[in-house]
Amino acid sequence: MRTKWYHPWLYIGPALILLGFFLVYPSIETFIISFYGPNSQQFVGFANYIYAFTDSSMLTAFRNNAIWLVVFTMFTVSFGLIIAVLVDRVRYEKIAKSFIFLPMAISMVGASVIWKFMYAFKPAGAPQVGLLNEMLTVFGGKPVAWLIRSPWNTLALIAIGVWMWTGFCMVILSAALKNIPKQLTEAARIDGANEWQVFLRITLPLLWPTVAVVTTTMIVFVLKIFDIVYVMTNGNFSTDVIANIMYKQAFLFGNYGRGSAISVILLILIIPMMWINIRRFRGQMETR
Amino acid sequence: MAEVVLTKVVKKFGDFTAVKGIDLTVEDGKFTVLVGPSGCGKTTTLRMIAGLEEVTSGEIRIGERVVNNVPPKDRDIAMVFQNYALYPHMDVYNNMAFGLKLRKISKDEIQRRVNQAAALLGIENKLKSKPRELSGGQRQRVAVGRAIVRDPKVFLFDEPLSNLDAKLRVQMRTELEQLHHRLKTTTIYVTHDQVEAMTLGDRIAVMRDGVIHQYDSPKQTYDHPADRFVAGFIGSPAMNFLPATVTSEDGKVFVVGDGFRFPLPAEKASGVPNKVVVGIRPEDLDGPITDENADGTLEATVTVTEQLGSELLVYAACGNEAIVANLDPHHVIHIDDKIRLKVDLNRMHLFDPESDKTIF
């Protein structure tokens, strides 16, 4: 049978229709709404965007997202890498990896509730419920209000994210590590490399493409970070992030214009990362 | 350059003993081949010499130094792996230079050595290529080049030709032979291919089940196998084995089996047990002949013939035993023919069926 011009479209048609209906159309609609007022009645030009880039709460959120982006990504990827390399050398690797991966199985909200107990704070003298403060007071320190003191509270929130997502990075990097033929590291050892040189000059360069994919995936994820902040502080005490403000504007204050403008900004921030990711992925498919 | 000496070397993996106390001396500058079927412990032995596996007990010495607890990087050895193990992220030049850079050798010297090795192996124009852009034979050359630029005391080869196609394998084999002739570096070479073993080795160690059955020159191993296993493993097609009994008539001794009756010279007959296994190499069978009364012949029924042009392989049934004969290709032989073959009695072997040891 000869291929007619419309045959390819028949095959990708259903996917295109679904994507168009559930992704493209809402995106365009959001983009349009972002130029209208709270009730989407009145055209306001760039007012919502001006708000998004000038309002002090938004500026704090941008700052916090930047902190999240750098600290969260750095720690999840580097811890994931270090753990993947270390557990590769021990016999109880599977158990160790299971434990580190376990937090991934907990919902973000569940994890946040667990960490609320970790960070719980009572004034000095009162019995401490929170594990961290209990430990501090046992050793004679003063209890710390982990979730209130800025900017440390943002770091405390990031720690939860790192606790949850390190396992994800580890699993992917560990799989890539297993893919490196053992003979390569053996050849390097015979060539005269010590363990550190083997890691730096053989293992790491070969893991690099995977590290890049994991990093960009983490960046895309962390740009949209919401749940942890929402549950733990709801953005109070200067911990707010872009996605949380978007949620508040759209669904709490009913200002769809501002909410949409913020989501468009978020989308634009994420696109370059997605683009890098897809290109990397394609590159890997080609070298195979 | 250095000699390599293994003394009572044992390697256990859990309950499994892969290498059972072998002794092996590779003289300085010699080419030794470890050959044997899969799982015989040859690769494990090589990896212990390389330092990639720990020795359970026994001693490995390279030159004057006991290396049991010396890490691979300090053993001054180079190894060529079965799958080449080239660093995929480095070009050919850096693959070869890697070991030299780690040893902090000057840039000029590295360049000189790499270029020299590349010229020797005919890969000068590939120095900028990545391994994935090379053919199998070129990768093999790079792997060898990476070993020779280091100018190590010992070369270790782990089945380096098994991933190449038949033609290239023969070519690389002769190149390795020439290379060893030029460099004269002590070499230990693992293979399961007995042709490689025969052609490359100054001496070959035939291994099975973690034990060295024989360690001799190729010619000696072929002509005087230590036991039935070595006799069957070395040589292609493999030696024919026929069960037989030893009888004496009128003061003369005969080896008698189904379809044959061979006279045994008196000087060889002494001390031979009643039951033996006769070993005859396919090339020591000649014929077919028509003289039914000739001495030292055996009768067989042809089952398959393989005309290879330079030789004719005839598979036949001698009694209940399958045999193969390597005959002059000009003969015309058909399936189901009954043929009579002449045996070169001077080259016939007898084995003790109890111990499998060679009687002569």
| pLDDT tens digits, B12-52 | 999 999 999 999 999 999 999 999 999 899 999 999 999 99
Cβ of A187 and B87 within 8 Å?
yes
Higher pLDDT, B272 or A259: A259
Pick the residue of A191, A200, A206 with the most B CBs within 10 A to test the interface with B by mutation. A191
> Does residue A75 sit within a domain?
yes
pLDDT tens digits for A8-20?
Answer: 899 999 999 999 9
Strands lying side by side in the sheet with B65-66: B16-26, B4-13, B57-62, B65-66
> Taking CB atoms and an 8 Å cutoff, what residues of chain A touch B87?
184, 187-188, 202
Q: Return the H-helix or E-strand segment holding B65.
A: strand B65-66
CA angle A136, A141, A147 (to 5 degrees): 60
Spatial CA neighbour of B1 closest among B19, B22, B28? B28
> Does residue A35 sit within a domain?
no
Strand segments (E) across B225-307: 240-249, 252-257, 260-264, 275-280, 285-286, 297-307
> Taking CB atoms and an 8 Å cutoff, what residues of chain A touch B132?
287
Task: Tell me: do B263 and B221 sit in the same domain.
Answer: no
The nearest alpha carbon in chain B to A194 belongs to B73
Query: How far apart (Å, rounded) are the C-alpha atoms in residues B192 and B80?
Result: 16
The pLDDT score that the predictor gives to residue B315 is 95
Task: Tell me: do B271 and B187 sit in the same domain.
Answer: no
> Does residue A21 sit within a domain?
no
> Taking CB atoms and an 8 Å cutoff, what residues of chain A touch B79?
186-187, 190
Least confident of A143-157, A184-198, B12-26, B309-323: A143-157
Rounded mean pLDDT, A11-30: 93
Task: Tell me: do B32 and B137 sit in the same domain.
Answer: yes
The pLDDT score that the predictor gives to residue A286 is 62
Distance from CA of A98 to the nearest CA of B (A): 26
Task: Tell me: do B216 and B117 sit in the same domain.
Answer: yes
The pLDDT score that the predictor gives to residue A163 is 94
The pLDDT score that the predictor gives to residue A122 is 82
Pick the residue of B13, B43, B46, B79 with the most A CBs within 10 A to test the interface with A by mutation. B79
Query: How far apart (Å, rounded) are the C-alpha atoms in residues B340 and B260?
Result: 10
The pLDDT score that the predictor gives to residue B295 is 81
- pLDDT tops 60 at residue A287: no
The pLDDT score that the predictor gives to residue A144 is 84
Low-confidence ranges of chain B (pLDDT < 70): 1
CA B197 to chain centroid, in Å, comes to: 3
> Taking CB atoms and an 8 Å cutoff, what residues of chain A touch B77?
190
The pLDDT score that the predictor gives to residue B56 is 95
3-class SS of residue B222: helix
pLDDT tens digits for A73-84?
Answer: 999 999 999 999
What is the tally of structural domains in chain B?
2
Q: pTM for the whole thing?
A: 0.82
Cβ of B85 and A184 within 8 Å?
yes
- pLDDT tops 90 at residue A236: no
> Does residue A3 sit within a domain?
no
- pLDDT tops 70 at residue A285: no
Pick the residue of B98, B114, B140 with the most A CBs within 10 A to test the interface with A by mutation. B98
- pLDDT tops 60 at residue A229: yes
> Which range of residues forms the domain containing residue A53?
40-287
Q: Which two tokens stand for residue B85?
A: 């193990």
CA angle B173, B4, B51 (to 5 degrees): 85
Domain boundary among B215, B233, B251: B233
For the purposes of burial, counting CB atoms within 10 Å of the CB of A182, is it exposed (0-12), middle (13-18) or buried (19 or more)? exposed
Task: Tell me: do B249 and B229 sit in the same domain.
Answer: no
> Does residue A277 sit within a domain?
yes
Q: Does A192 touch chain B (CB under 8 A)?
A: yes
The enclosing domain of A132 has a CATH number of 1.10.3720.10
The pLDDT score that the predictor gives to residue B241 is 95
Q: Does A191 touch chain B (CB under 8 A)?
A: yes
Q: Does A283 touch chain B (CB under 8 A)?
A: no
The pLDDT score that the predictor gives to residue B97 is 95
The pLDDT score that the predictor gives to residue A284 is 67
- pLDDT tops 60 at residue A288: no
> Which range of residues forms the domain containing residue B185?
4-233
Task: Tell me which amino acid residue B63 is.
Answer: G
Cβ of B89 and A205 within 8 Å?
yes
Rounded mean pLDDT, A253-281: 89
